[in-house]
Amino acid sequence: MPHPNDPALRSFIPVDPASDFPIQNLPYGVFSAKDGLAPRVGVAIGDYVLDLWELEQDCRLPVTDLRIFSASTLNPFMALGPKAWSATRARISELLRHDNPELRENPELRARALVPMAQVTLHMPIAVSGYTDFYSSREHATNVGVMFRGKDNALQPNWLHMPIGYNGRASTVVVSGTKVRRPRGQLKPPTAEAPSFGPCRRLDFELEMGVVVGQPSPMGEMLSEAQAEAMIFGFVLLNDWSARDIQQWEYVPLGPFQAKAFATSISPWVVTREALEPFRLQGPVQEPVPLPYLRQARPNNYDLELDVALRAADMNDGLRICRTNFKYMYWSSVQQLVHHASSGCAMNVGDLLGSGTISGPEKDQRGSLLEISWNGTEPIELAGGIKRTFLEDGDSLVMRGWCQGDGYRVGFGEVEGTIVAAE
């Protein structure tokens, strides 16, 4: 049987070469249709969602517990572990292949199991157990450091020795399309004598990838590189909305708190680690060499294109404001997970790890408005007369990501969020 990542595979379902969801991808999500059934697990293929619950009821999948795919989150499926993930993906690939009549020539099953994407609502794909956000792009950390501490002290002394992170809030991780209310908080501009409380005036986005942890690790135990990698179920696009003015006043000495707690948006489709395998590459050289527990024997970065578009309420189309690549990240997702567990911290099924803002070496590769507008000093023009330093009410932000194969792309769809006024 060909491997599900084989570039030569074709589905009997027509898939445009520019589609994010060819047979080589098969990302998992949670959807509901107009049939009145509860949200359940599906896989994206071209312009359709494949209903795994229907296939399972028809005894077509290697997973036999009917509660796995009728669940409203991917957590029960993730808990089955990497062997079940691989076997299920291989079987779905087989069912969708152009040269397999099993589903193709079964109109009754096709009608039940293939739902046009245009008719579904996509939900939060996972129940987020814990959310941790890292700070692992050297270019982003350097840009922010130069802005606030000057060129000579741009990187903090610990930055090249470990992936820096903080514990965020799982309660406000939301799926693409959820409106984001402008946060309120304590503000104290450097020129003000005393703080005041009110709507954030410097609202920003952060372009990130999210790692979905699909297996637990016990409290008290460290992880090897191989163990950490095997726990990663897949990846999503992630927008770590940030209130820069709240952050600036509150972050010393314990780091971000309310500035990041009001919303984090993720894309609805979880692209599996296995589907990204052909796009694996070596990350930047790490100098100084990390401590032994953080050393990597394998390349753990991915060649994954990213772009961000911003659309003001009175614009028809968004304007691209960033084009970068996940491959620039200094610390890999595997190193982040190894470091996260290194103290003895337990990891859970459904944990979400934000990569940190993904910026690249070039000016148009900056993954936040803080960097793009250089702390508000260099406004960008979106369209005739519409300028931005930070986000205004009504602004809509769309992030996209994909790995480009030869004649196909393994894509993530998008994560969108629109800002609404503070109460």
| Choice between 139 and 274, CB closer to Mn ion | 139
Nearest residue to Mn ion on Cβ basis: 240
Shortest reach from residue 43's CB to Mn ion, in Å: 29
Shortest reach from residue 260's CB to Mn ion, in Å: 7
Query: What is the C-alpha separation between 90 and 61, in angstroms, rounded?
Result: 10
Contacts of 216 (CB under 8 A, 6+ apart): 231, 346, 347, 348, 349
Given 3, 98, 123, 140, the catalytic residue: 140
* Per-residue tokens: 216: 């637990």
| Choice between 240 and 274, CB closer to Mn ion | 240
35 membership: H or E segment, kind and range: none
> Which residue, among 145, 334, 142, has the nearest Cα to 225 in the 3D structure?
334
Looking at residue 363, the DSSP 8-state letter turns out to be: G
Q: Is 140 among the residues known to form the active site?
A: yes
Are the beta carbons of 132 and 353 closer than 8 angstroms? yes
Contact set with Mn ion (CB under 5 A): 133, 206, 240
Shortest reach from residue 75's CB to Mn ion, in Å: 24
Are the beta carbons of 301 and 281 closer than 8 angstroms? yes
Shortest reach from residue 357's CB to Mn ion, in Å: 5
C-alpha neighbours within 13 Å on the C-beta side of residue 171: 4
| Choice between 51 and 206, CB closer to Mn ion | 206
| Choice between 358 and 398, CB closer to Mn ion | 358
Amino acid of residue 293 = Y
Shortest reach from residue 206's CB to Mn ion, in Å: 4
| Choice between 225 and 416, CB closer to Mn ion | 416
| Choice between 139 and 206, CB closer to Mn ion | 206
* Per-residue tokens: 363: 């000016």
Q: Which residues pair with 133 in a beta bridge?
A: 166, 354
Please enumerate, as own/partner, the contacts of 85-89 that have beta carbons within 8 Å and a separation of 24 or more.
85/214, 85/233, 85/272, 85/274, 86/274, 87/62, 88/61, 88/62, 88/63, 89/4, 89/26, 89/272, 89/274, 89/275
Shortest reach from residue 133's CB to Mn ion, in Å: 4
CA 411 to chain centre: 12
| Choice between 68 and 261, CB closer to Mn ion | 261
Query: What is the C-alpha separation between 293 and 213, in angstroms, rounded?
Result: 20
> Which residue, among 186, 124, 206, has the nearest Cα to 391 in the 3D structure?
206
Query: What is the C-alpha separation between 371 and 380, in angstroms, rounded?
Result: 11
Shortest reach from residue 144's CB to Mn ion, in Å: 11
Query: What is the C-alpha separation between 408 and 405, in angstroms, rounded?
Result: 5
Phi/psi of residue 336, nearest 5 degrees: -60, -45
- Active site members: 140
